[in-house]
A and B are shown apart, each in its own frame.
Chain A
């Protein structure tokens, strides 16, 4: 069984934190196909959060195909997990490592790198929206 926790200061919306923790638990094998997620009431009684937030997280997990809600029984981890593509991630990761090395050489510290990534993401987001 997975136990949720919250980081109030992270700025990440609560429902997203729950989603990320389930994803992480699946990756680490803490959650196995067929496992039941805690009921809404259990999560709410533990974290003192709005039940709608938990429902939203579970809906998101359902939508991604990671879990499935069974009427009157609860939410369970799906037996057929969408295939992860680790190869793609490792290629991206090595490209990113190279880029970070270049950034370091250009004299950027970690904070500046983070700021640059965030600003670029924002620009991309707005260009897409416009």
Chain B
């Protein structure tokens, strides 16, 4: 098993003249639960579709489980589970038939796992897909993906359309599957709440570019909010990267990614939670993006 479940190098996808994803380089370590976070239209779905081989890259490459899903689908697809946005299922099928479709389309298929899971969730096999609630449909789609016994599970906005209770139930059963071991998860979301407790790795995508890709623990540990009397943040900027600076006429507040130890008597230093960090990154204008900074320095 390779060290990374997913590796992207300079990955880009262009539709017509518009880049949906650009210069994306990141790695997702095997065994983690990674959140792909960003506003709508940031390129999350494009990245996931590139990863699972639904579309091919305009630039760069993406490998999952060591191979390109676009070039070698017969090798990658059997080891990959994917639940697309709005978890599409054949509406006219009964759940049992949906499972049969999964069985027919896959060489490795754990029918017992699928049946046990659905039984525990109280979803009868003879029910029509079209009559299920959104939460139940999401659970059926997840079951189909898990019954492949995948090494990597990719979920596109799995909880966006669910009510809070269904959302929690979905995450519970997803985490149970992770607890069984051997599974890396990549899920996209534009909702940050709930993700912090579920995920241990985060990729932040905005304006078609990767802003941040790191273990959540490191992200939270590295970021601090500094507040103090109004001043020019350039002194802080020499050592650390300032993600967001806001000023009133008397006070300056900075969200900072600390480069090593951060202690400065002029500033009050506070911890900052994941949601605030994400919002600070999303609030930046595109010209502050890390890539352009590197070019400038």
Q: Give the residue name and chain of the A residue nearest to B32 (CB).
A: A52
Which parts of B209-248 form the interface with A (CB within 8 Å)? none
- Could you tell me if A44 and B197 are in contact, using CB atoms closer than 8 angstroms? no
Instruction: Judge whether A48 is part of the interface by a CB distance below 8 angstroms.
Output: yes
- Choose among B198, B261, B271 the residue that contacts A48 (Cβ–Cβ < 8 A): B198
Instruction: Judge whether B263 is part of the interface by a CB distance below 8 angstroms.
Output: yes
**Least CB distance, B187 to chain A, in whole angstroms:** 12
- Could you tell me if B271 and A6 are in contact, using CB atoms closer than 8 angstroms? no
Known: A40-B179, A50-B175. A14 touches B197 (CB 8 A): yes
- Choose among B173, B175, B269 the residue that contacts A51 (Cβ–Cβ < 8 A): B175
A41 to B180, CA, bound (A): 7
Instruction: Judge whether B199 is part of the interface by a CB distance below 8 angstroms.
Output: yes
Given contacts A8-B197, A48-B194, A51-B178, 6 further A-B contacts (CB under 8 A): A40-B179, A41-B179, A47-B197, A48-B168, A50-B199, A122-B269
**Chain A interface mostly:** helix
**Least CB distance, A124 to chain B, in whole angstroms:** 12
Instruction: Judge whether A130 is part of the interface by a CB distance below 8 angstroms.
Output: yes
Chain B interfacial residues counted at CB < 8 A: 21
- The 8 A CB mask of B161-176 against A (1 = contact, 0 = none) is 0000000100111011
Known: A41-B179, A44-B175, A48-B198. A11 touches B273 (CB 8 A): yes
Instruction: Judge whether B138 is part of the interface by a CB distance below 8 angstroms.
Output: no
Chain A residues in contact with chain B, CB under 8 A? 6, 8, 11, 14, 40-41, 44-53, 122, 126, 129-130
Known: A40-B179, A41-B179, A44-B179. A126 touches B172 (CB 8 A): no
Please name all residues of chain B whose beta carbon is closer than 8 Å to the beta carbon of A14 when the two chains form the complex.
197
Known: A50-B198, A129-B261. A45 touches B173 (CB 8 A): yes
**Least CB distance, B49 to chain A, in whole angstroms:** 25
- Could you tell me if A130 and B172 are in contact, using CB atoms closer than 8 angstroms? no
A50 to B215, CA, bound (A): 13
- Could you tell me if A48 and B175 are in contact, using CB atoms closer than 8 angstroms? yes
Instruction: Judge whether B33 is part of the interface by a CB distance below 8 angstroms.
Output: yes
Chain B residues in contact with chain A, CB under 8 A? 32-33, 168, 171-173, 175-176, 178-180, 194, 197-200, 261, 263, 269, 271, 273
A129 to B261, CA, bound (A): 9
A45 to B171, CA, bound (A): 8
A122 to B269, CA, bound (A): 9
Q: Give the residue name and chain of the B residue nearest to A125 (CB).
A: B263
- Could you tell me if B263 and A130 are in contact, using CB atoms closer than 8 angstroms? yes
- Could you tell me if B271 and A44 are in contact, using CB atoms closer than 8 angstroms? no
A6 to B194, CA, bound (A): 12
A107 to B194, CA, bound (A): 41
Q: Give the residue name and chain of the A residue nearest to B168 (CB).
A: A48
Interface pairs (29), CB distance under 8 Å: A8-B197, A11-B273, A14-B197, A40-B179, A41-B176, A41-B179, A44-B172, A44-B175, A44-B179, A45-B172, A46-B172, A47-B172, A48-B168, A48-B171, A48-B172, A48-B175, A48-B197, A48-B198, A49-B175, A49-B197, A50-B197, A50-B200, A51-B178, A52-B32, A53-B197, A53-B200, A126-B263, A129-B263, A130-B261
